[in-house]
Structure 1
Amino acid sequence: MTSPTPSTVSSSPVSIRAGPGTRWGAAPDRLNRHLRELGIDPASDDWIDNAIPAVLALTGRISGVVVTPAHVERPVLGAALFR
Protein backbone atom coordinates (compact mmCIF):
# COMPACT_ATOMS: atom_id res chain seq x y z
CA MET A 1 0.00 0.00 0.00
CA THR A 2 1.31 3.45 -0.81
CA SER A 3 1.40 6.39 1.56
CA PRO A 4 -1.69 8.58 1.58
CA THR A 5 -1.80 11.64 -0.59
CA PRO A 6 -2.50 15.11 0.82
CA SER A 7 -6.00 14.95 -0.65
CA THR A 8 -6.68 11.79 1.36
CA VAL A 9 -5.32 12.79 4.74
CA SER A 10 -5.03 16.31 6.10
CA SER A 11 -2.19 17.37 8.39
CA SER A 12 -4.80 18.15 11.07
CA PRO A 13 -5.64 15.12 13.23
CA VAL A 14 -9.32 16.10 13.42
CA SER A 15 -9.95 16.27 9.69
CA ILE A 16 -8.70 12.87 8.53
CA ARG A 17 -11.22 11.53 6.03
CA ALA A 18 -9.92 8.17 4.96
CA GLY A 19 -11.57 4.78 4.62
CA PRO A 20 -10.31 1.56 6.17
CA GLY A 21 -8.19 0.89 3.06
CA THR A 22 -6.04 3.95 3.77
CA ARG A 23 -3.35 2.74 6.15
CA TRP A 24 0.38 3.24 6.48
CA GLY A 25 3.18 2.67 8.94
CA ALA A 26 5.44 -0.22 9.93
CA ALA A 27 2.61 -2.80 10.01
CA PRO A 28 -0.36 -1.36 8.07
CA ASP A 29 -2.16 -4.72 7.87
CA ARG A 30 -1.82 -5.70 11.53
CA LEU A 31 -5.45 -4.89 12.36
CA ASN A 32 -7.01 -6.56 9.29
CA ARG A 33 -8.28 -9.57 11.28
CA HIS A 34 -9.98 -7.30 13.81
CA LEU A 35 -11.50 -5.14 11.06
CA ARG A 36 -12.92 -8.21 9.30
CA GLU A 37 -14.36 -9.55 12.58
CA LEU A 38 -16.11 -6.19 13.04
CA GLY A 39 -17.60 -6.43 9.55
CA ILE A 40 -15.27 -3.87 7.98
CA ASP A 41 -13.50 -4.72 4.73
CA PRO A 42 -9.87 -3.61 5.24
CA ALA A 43 -9.35 -3.29 1.48
CA SER A 44 -12.30 -0.93 1.04
CA ASP A 45 -12.00 2.82 0.73
CA ASP A 46 -15.69 3.26 1.53
CA TRP A 47 -16.44 5.95 4.09
CA ILE A 48 -17.98 4.70 7.34
CA ASP A 49 -20.85 7.07 8.18
CA ASN A 50 -20.81 6.53 11.94
CA ALA A 51 -17.38 5.14 12.75
CA ILE A 52 -17.55 5.76 16.51
CA PRO A 53 -18.98 2.31 17.44
CA ALA A 54 -16.38 0.58 15.23
CA VAL A 55 -13.57 2.70 16.68
CA LEU A 56 -14.66 1.88 20.24
CA ALA A 57 -14.87 -1.85 19.42
CA LEU A 58 -11.45 -1.79 17.74
CA THR A 59 -9.99 0.10 20.69
CA GLY A 60 -11.31 -2.57 23.05
CA ARG A 61 -9.82 -5.36 20.96
CA ILE A 62 -6.40 -3.70 20.81
CA SER A 63 -6.14 -2.50 24.41
CA GLY A 64 -8.25 -5.05 26.24
CA VAL A 65 -10.20 -2.17 27.78
CA VAL A 66 -13.87 -2.06 26.87
CA VAL A 67 -14.85 1.52 26.06
CA THR A 68 -18.55 2.20 25.72
CA PRO A 69 -20.36 5.29 24.43
CA ALA A 70 -21.22 6.05 28.09
CA HIS A 71 -17.50 6.55 28.77
CA VAL A 72 -17.31 9.14 26.02
CA GLU A 73 -20.55 10.92 26.96
CA ARG A 74 -19.79 11.46 30.65
CA PRO A 75 -18.27 14.73 31.89
CA VAL A 76 -14.54 15.07 31.44
CA LEU A 77 -12.57 15.98 34.52
CA GLY A 78 -9.84 18.51 34.00
CA ALA A 79 -7.89 21.29 35.58
CA ALA A 80 -6.23 24.53 34.67
CA LEU A 81 -2.77 24.96 36.09
CA PHE A 82 -1.41 28.47 36.52
CA ARG A 83 2.06 29.45 37.47
Structure 2
Amino acid sequence: TANRKERRRTQSINSAFAELRECIPNVPADTKLSKIKTLRLATSYIAYLMDLLAKDDQNGEAEAFKAEIKKTDVKEEKRKKELNEILKKHSEQQR
Protein backbone atom coordinates (compact mmCIF):
# COMPACT_ATOMS: atom_id res chain seq x y z
CA THR A 1 0.00 0.00 0.00
CA ALA A 2 0.98 3.66 -0.25
CA ASN A 3 1.39 3.93 3.53
CA ARG A 4 3.80 1.01 3.61
CA LYS A 5 5.86 2.47 0.74
CA GLU A 6 6.03 5.85 2.45
CA ARG A 7 7.01 4.23 5.74
CA ARG A 8 9.83 2.32 3.99
CA ARG A 9 10.97 5.48 2.21
CA THR A 10 11.02 7.42 5.49
CA GLN A 11 12.91 4.63 7.25
CA SER A 12 15.43 4.55 4.41
CA ILE A 13 16.00 8.30 4.62
CA ASN A 14 16.32 8.18 8.41
CA SER A 15 18.79 5.31 8.12
CA ALA A 16 20.87 7.28 5.61
CA PHE A 17 20.92 10.30 7.93
CA ALA A 18 22.02 8.07 10.83
CA GLU A 19 24.90 6.76 8.71
CA LEU A 20 25.85 10.30 7.71
CA ARG A 21 25.82 11.41 11.38
CA GLU A 22 28.29 8.64 12.18
CA CYS A 23 30.72 10.02 9.58
CA ILE A 24 30.97 13.45 11.19
CA PRO A 25 33.83 13.56 13.72
CA ASN A 26 33.76 15.23 17.13
CA VAL A 27 30.03 14.80 17.68
CA PRO A 28 29.20 12.90 20.88
CA ALA A 29 27.37 9.64 20.22
CA ASP A 30 24.52 10.66 22.52
CA THR A 31 23.90 13.91 20.61
CA LYS A 32 20.80 13.97 18.40
CA LEU A 33 21.42 16.18 15.39
CA SER A 34 18.54 17.44 13.30
CA LYS A 35 18.57 16.57 9.61
CA ILE A 36 19.48 20.12 8.61
CA LYS A 37 22.27 20.29 11.22
CA THR A 38 23.57 16.93 9.98
CA LEU A 39 23.65 18.20 6.39
CA ARG A 40 25.35 21.45 7.39
CA LEU A 41 28.01 19.69 9.47
CA ALA A 42 28.57 17.13 6.70
CA THR A 43 29.06 19.83 4.06
CA SER A 44 31.37 21.69 6.42
CA TYR A 45 33.38 18.51 6.99
CA ILE A 46 33.58 17.82 3.24
CA ALA A 47 34.88 21.36 2.69
CA TYR A 48 37.44 20.77 5.45
CA LEU A 49 38.56 17.52 3.81
CA MET A 50 38.87 19.25 0.44
CA ASP A 51 41.05 21.95 2.04
CA LEU A 52 43.09 19.25 3.74
CA LEU A 53 43.70 17.50 0.42
CA ALA A 54 44.62 20.79 -1.25
CA LYS A 55 47.06 21.66 1.53
CA ASP A 56 48.46 18.12 1.47
CA ASP A 57 49.18 18.58 -2.23
CA GLN A 58 51.12 21.72 -1.27
CA ASN A 59 52.81 19.90 1.66
CA GLY A 60 51.15 22.24 4.13
CA GLU A 61 49.55 21.41 7.43
CA ALA A 62 45.86 21.88 8.13
CA GLU A 63 44.06 22.35 11.40
CA ALA A 64 41.87 19.53 12.68
CA PHE A 65 38.17 19.69 11.79
CA LYS A 66 36.11 21.22 14.57
CA ALA A 67 32.39 20.61 14.58
CA GLU A 68 30.35 23.05 16.62
CA ILE A 69 30.03 20.28 19.19
CA LYS A 70 33.46 19.86 20.78
CA LYS A 71 33.40 16.50 22.60
CA THR A 72 35.48 13.77 20.91
CA ASP A 73 34.40 10.14 20.92
CA VAL A 74 36.82 7.20 20.52
CA LYS A 75 34.63 5.61 17.83
CA GLU A 76 34.61 8.85 15.87
CA GLU A 77 38.39 9.24 16.15
CA LYS A 78 38.79 5.73 14.73
CA ARG A 79 36.41 6.58 11.87
CA LYS A 80 38.33 9.81 11.21
CA LYS A 81 41.62 7.88 11.01
CA GLU A 82 40.05 5.36 8.63
CA LEU A 83 38.72 8.17 6.45
CA ASN A 84 42.14 9.83 6.37
CA GLU A 85 43.72 6.52 5.29
CA ILE A 86 41.15 6.14 2.49
CA LEU A 87 41.75 9.71 1.35
CA LYS A 88 45.51 9.17 1.44
CA LYS A 89 45.22 6.01 -0.69
CA HIS A 90 42.90 7.82 -3.10
CA SER A 91 45.34 10.71 -3.37
CA GLU A 92 48.23 8.31 -4.05
CA GLN A 93 46.24 6.50 -6.75
CA GLN A 94 45.57 9.73 -8.59
CA ARG A 95 49.27 10.58 -8.85
State the TM bucket, normalised to the shorter chain.
under 0.3
- TM-score for the superposition, normalised by structure 2: 0.25
- TM-score for the superposition, normalised by structure 1: 0.27
